[in-house]
A and B are shown apart, each in its own frame.
Chain A
């Protein structure tokens, strides 16, 4: 079985991804900018990524799953902590079971990451899942 890494995903904003989303939510540019997860170097190595090698990963939890591109973090080491840009991709993993404040846990998503063979999840697939 492929190696799995447990992470807490914190979502964040990025000006280039935001710009792409304003122009079109359906463009390849928006998909490429959004469908990414930024992982700690060691976590990425555990998943089998060699230096400079591009890796696609499956990020899943009880809510859902997405296949996204994995990127190395340039910050100080943060094993177990991952970052995604706020997007339909990250929201596939956010639970609507909320605490007292009724705010979804957009910045504390528990998920499991493993290397993936599949293509990056497309916006049309996300739309189909929402439609059910």
Chain B
């Protein structure tokens, strides 16, 4: 069995075998995972300096030179690399006195912080399958982002205490600004919120739980939601970017809601992490520095703060190493523009807007397909994987180790 690294579900039941340099009749991969693995056969990168193809050794030497001569380098990406590569990356940041940040910084970071520090109660997805009778998709649309989420864990499978599953025992609720593909699967329990209206919606739930009249939403429907929550034996909220971006500084309100729900019954939170190993990086950096992201080693001791977030550091760094990420595509225009002004090193299996704009490009093996290692699923479960295909390409871990040795 192979592991899919297409998203943070890290599905473990994939049957795939290489035949003549291609993957065909792959079993159990969803459309997203299938696209992820097929991507290995198009738009691959080659070692480059200033747009000219070079050999790998020269690209690595050049990368080391750039980082060594930089006063405040930024190391960014990480959520698509193995734990093993991330560990070398953190060591490299320490050695360089660099700033290190990952995609969680403009994504699930503020939620992950609360999960990893224990401020929000959490559980594994296997717990969800075995015990959950209420799953709330809040600002998340797993049908589109984590296609097998509902079939493997949160709605359709049978579990230890949920033998009658979705037919009789499980209720799904979608809270979103739009009727998403997931909301279509539970149309009677779809609650539409206004953009940036998640805090208000939380207040409304807290009100109905106290037997008060809610200020927003259809009153009857909100009271109905209140009674579903009260009757829940074991509930879980899958918090997505919709909720995180909308709450921002008001994350305390979410903590308050969970505390209140847990006075009544059991309620957990699982963060809907996108990339397959964002959580792995957050856990690793927390263990080494006490912070999950946005860390600077400039003064030796790890310092943390918004000034070390990728959005801020892009403007203050004088060189950057980007690994397994495409900030030119995924971050605000201004951040991409700022990064484009400094010498960039891009380590990526595939061509992207960022590799196109990089001074040095280093091709790497695609984890899961061409490279083995360990990833951490969205719920914190560690999953080891072996490569499906043979490849001569170096892994992220090997590349980073070689750069470090050359510094």
Contact = CB atoms under 8 A, between A and B. Distances in A.
Q: Do A and B come from the same complex?
A: yes
A101 B171 CA distance: 33
Interface hub of A19, A23, A92, A103 (most chain B Cβ within 10 A): A103
A91 B333 contact: yes
Contact of A126 (B35, B326, B353): B353
A115 B259 CA distance: 49
Given A75-B179, A83-B178, A91-B329, A22 B39 contact: yes
Interface hub of B143, B181, B248, B326 (most chain A Cβ within 10 A): B248
Contact of A101 (B249, B328, B341): B249
Label chain A's interface by main secondary structure. Answer: loop
Interface string A74-105: 01101001010011100111111111111111
A6 B246 CA distance: 20
B219 interface: no
Given A81-B177, A108-B195, A96 B311 contact: yes
A24 B326 CA distance: 12
Nearest to B140: A13
B240 to A, nearest CB: 9
Nearest to A88: B329
A15 interface: yes
Contacts of B147: 15
Contact of A18 (B32, B38, B249, B357): B32
Contact of A26 (B106, B192, B351): B351
B300 interface: no
Contacts of A32: none
Nearest to A81: B195
B357 A94 contact: no
B256 interface: no
Given A25-B352, A76-B179, A81-B195, A104 B35 contact: no
B141 interface: yes
A23 B42 contact: yes
A99 B249 contact: yes
B195 A107 contact: yes
Contacts of A126: 353
B178 A75 contact: yes
Interface of A: 8, 10, 12-16, 18-26, 63-64, 75-76, 78, 81, 83, 86-88, 91-108, 123, 126-127, 129-132
Interface string B83-126: 00000000000000000000001110110000000000000000
Label chain B's interface by main secondary structure. Answer: helix
Interchain residue pairs A-B with the least CB separation, the first 5: A96-B334, A19-B35, A94-B332, A102-B306, A22-B35
A123 B246 CA distance: 29
B337 interface: yes
A127 B358 CA distance: 12
Interface string B313-346: 0100000000000101111111111101100000
B36 interface: yes
B248 A103 contact: yes
27 contacts: A10-B177, A12-B180, A14-B144, A15-B145, A22-B32, A23-B35, A23-B42, A23-B43, A63-B334, A76-B192, A78-B178, A96-B311, A96-B331, A96-B334, A101-B110, A101-B306, A103-B107, A104-B331, A104-B332, A106-B241, A108-B195, A127-B356, A129-B333, A130-B328, A130-B337, A131-B340, A131-B357
Contacts of B39: 22-23
A81 B249 CA distance: 23
B79 to A, nearest CB: 15
B333 A96 contact: yes
Given A91-B329, A101-B110, 14 more contacts: A12-B144, A15-B144, A16-B31, A19-B34, A23-B39, A25-B353, A26-B43, A81-B177, A88-B353, A102-B106, A103-B107, A104-B331, A107-B195, A107-B246
A98 B311 contact: yes
Nearest to B248: A101
A25 B35 CA distance: 13
B309 interface: yes
